[in-house]
Structure 1
Amino acid sequence: MYSIQALQDIIIQAIAGKKYPEEPAELYEPMQYMMNLGGKRLRPALLLMGCDAFGGDIYQAINPAIAIEVFHNFTLMHDDIMDNAPIRRGKTTVHEKWNSSVGILSGDAMLVEGYKLMMQVDEKVLRPVLEIFNHTAIAVCEGQQLDMNFEQLKEVRIESYINMIRLKTAVVLGGALKIGALIAGATKTEADLIYAFGEDLGIAFQLQDDILDVYGNPEKFGKQVGGDILSNKKTYLLIKALETADATQFQELNSWLQLTNFDAVKKVSAVKNLFDQMEIREKAEQEMNRYAQRALQSLKDLPLDEAQKSQLYEFADMLLVREN
């Protein structure tokens, strides 16, 4: 069995060795630039992990694994344009370095490149693998659109939010694991179980991210704490607070949501205080743990020995045991 770090290193080396055509430069240079920005490469490592767990040859899964990372970076390139984001992983975003038209077209080319790489699997599993990839790709687009829709809606239900993060984030984890498992020869039942593990783990991870955005240590979390509060982002915590609040709390919370000019420190402190009054952190942690337990149950149900499951358990711990 390969360690998670070993799988990440294999992916990093494979991506570093991949070169794109030189012309037209405006199409291919942004692709190379985006792929060279780095990242943890967890999604492609998951695909290799799914293959390794079922005793497959991970080197037969390298191209599909890179396909997952190319697809992920395609979504980031287009997300940056939609968000008008100037920085990605500490570097200038593609649309800022070139322009939005270049970013759109180069992103489109990355999606095609992802399909070219994904098709390099054995003919016996080509159709089911492409079906999973198609499902993952359209789900991520649906999730992104729902996330944008939420910005305009006054009311979002918890179940709608969970569905959005499932589509936008969790399906990629499940899809990567399932593709790797099928390449290794897993049965449909086995592949479905490892998919469920990845999807529920992804939902738990995003819920934890929501919690850490409010309650995390900024030095360890790696992002500005309270950023979601300042932007009125409809996370699990805010949606649950709006559902839970009594009349006085609801009025105070809404007053902060409607302010356009405010002191950032005061707003974060006031909203966080309201969350504390309503025990929103505890409610969010209960929901996160519910999905984490569902993920672990799917992993437990997999007909593999404990040694084969060990890296999957380790990955779950790595993803969910983050200091705050």
Structure 2
Amino acid sequence: MEAIASYRESFLNYLEQNAPQREPDGLYAPIRYILDMGGKRMRPVLVLLSADLFGGRVSDALPAAAAVEVFHNFTLIHDDIMDAAPLRRGRATVHKKWDLNTGILSGDAMLILAYQQLEPYTGEAYPQLMRLFSRTALEVCEGQQFDMDFESRDDVSLEEYLNMIALKTAVLLGCALQMGAIVAGAGAAEQQAVYDFGIALGLAFQLQDDYLDAFGDPERFGKQVGGDIIENKKTYLYLKALELASAGEARELQDLYSIQPARPEAKVERVRQIFQESGAAAQARQRIEAYTEKAFSGLDRLEGRSRAKAVLKQFGEWLLKRDF
């Protein structure tokens, strides 16, 4: 999409111009490193897209877009520490390139920098943005804690899992869209409509991310394939496989998720087989499609915003166009 490329270019120029260049370099170099890793920049693009579609100026939404992106990358630094992940977007994670303490402190600084991005806003927009951003930041932390709790629980339900990924991933997409709408001065109903679109799209995106963690091409996926399996994370694939597999395979799957073998590759391969043979992999793809359709159908609430609906649908299709 040409529009997406334009939003992304505007944001990248702003990010480059506002990258922290202060001392000490040991604090700020890791921040510049992770912000320079690339990626689709979908969250800041959503802020700019939403502001534009509701009649605002893209330039006015750039600080809000930076707040969302800096916060998101803060969570990535700390997530990678918690997961002991060696790679992020195909490159060494911050705590691997530097050390654990640097990852913690640079991440903390990023959270503060994210809030500082909202300081230019005035009037009613400022408290609205702050309330939404703070609520979302706390929800993301809640989602991360649920995610960690689930690793040691054997009774996680599909409903609990979907709530966790809504908090950990989807709320930030909804927040990005609503922040753009706030900057543009959109009404409460329109803000809610784009927020709900972001939630449904985020659920589809996270389920797809979980699927690709098990079945994606590591070169295209940019992360260690099978990482969730190695970490015994109760993803949709795991929970659905327990529901659909034979009693024997279900017990085997539970046993595999209770160990950390010397050769994790064998564990990953066997779990992948169970996901496929039980039908869980196919069910995951169907659920991804269902959430995608829910996101698009919800756009009908944007009455009189035909361009907004069309562009948001295009964005959703672009975002979810990743190889299975």
State the shift of 1:58 in Å: 0.8
State the shift of 1:3 in Å: 0.4
Q: Aligned to 2:257, what secondary structure does the other structure show?
A: helix
| 2:110 aligned with 1:110 | yes
> Unmatched 5+ residue regions in structure 2?
none
1:19/1:272 Cα in 2 relative to 1: closer, same or farther (>3 Å)?
A: closer
| 2:24 aligned with 1:24 | yes
Q: Aligned to 1:178, what secondary structure does the other structure show?
A: helix
1:90/1:310 Cα in 2 relative to 1: closer, same or farther (>3 Å)?
A: same
Verify the 8 A CA contact 2:42 2:319 in the aligned structure 1. Answer: no
Q: Following the alignment from structure 2 to structure 1, what is the Cα–Cα distance between the partners of residues 274 and 30?
A: 44
Where does residue 10 of structure 2 map in the other structure? 10
State the shift of 1:259 in Å: 4.8
Where does residue 232 of structure 2 map in the other structure? 232
Where does residue 199 of structure 1 map in the other structure? 199
Verify the 8 A CA contact 1:177 1:198 in the aligned structure 2. Answer: yes
Where does residue 288 of structure 1 map in the other structure? 288
State the shift of 1:274 in Å: 2.8
Verify the 8 A CA contact 1:256 1:267 in the aligned structure 2. Answer: yes
Verify the 8 A CA contact 2:166 2:203 in the aligned structure 1. Answer: yes
Deviations 1:229-276 (A, max 9, x none): 344321101011112333222223234334543765654443333333
Verify the 8 A CA contact 2:170 2:203 in the aligned structure 1. Answer: yes
State the shift of 1:57 in Å: 0.5
Q: How does 1:214-293 map to 2 (within 5 A)?
A: 214-261=214-261, 266-293=266-293
1:287/1:89 Cα in 2 relative to 1: closer, same or farther (>3 Å)?
A: closer
TM-score normalised to the size of structure 1?
A: 0.90
Amino acid corresponding to residue 59 of structure 1 in structure 2? S
Verify the 8 A CA contact 2:88 2:222 in the aligned structure 1. Answer: no
Where does residue 172 of structure 1 map in the other structure? 172
Q: Aligned to 2:124, what secondary structure does the other structure show?
A: helix
Where does residue 39 of structure 2 map in the other structure? 39
State the shift of 1:150 in Å: 1.1
Q: Aligned to 1:155, what secondary structure does the other structure show?
A: coil
Identical residues among aligned pairs (%)? 45
| 2:217 aligned with 1:212 | no
Amino acid corresponding to residue 42 of structure 2 in structure 1? L
Q: Following the alignment from structure 2 to structure 1, what is the Cα–Cα distance between the partners of residues 147 and 5?
A: 32
Deviations 1:79-126 (A, max 9, x none): 233233344334443334443333322222221111111232231211
Verify the 8 A CA contact 2:49 2:180 in the aligned structure 1. Answer: yes
Q: How does 1:66-105 map to 2 (within 5 A)?
A: 66-105=66-105
Shifted more, 126-135 versus 305-314: the winner is: 305-314
Shifted more, 50-59 versus 240-249: the winner is: 240-249
Q: Following the alignment from structure 1 to structure 2, what is the Cα–Cα distance between the partners of residues 86 and 279?
A: 31
Q: Following the alignment from structure 1 to structure 2, what is the Cα–Cα distance between the partners of residues 90 and 284?
A: 25
Where does residue 63 of structure 1 map in the other structure? 63
Q: How many residues align?
A: 324
Q: Following the alignment from structure 2 to structure 1, what is the Cα–Cα distance between the partners of residues 173 and 87?
A: 25
Where does residue 313 of structure 2 map in the other structure? 313
1:36/1:283 Cα in 2 relative to 1: closer, same or farther (>3 Å)?
A: closer
Verify the 8 A CA contact 1:171 1:198 in the aligned structure 2. Answer: yes
Where does residue 126 of structure 2 map in the other structure? 126
Verify the 8 A CA contact 1:2 1:52 in the aligned structure 2. Answer: no
Verify the 8 A CA contact 1:64 1:119 in the aligned structure 2. Answer: no
Q: Following the alignment from structure 1 to structure 2, what is the Cα–Cα distance between the partners of residues 117 and 141?
A: 20
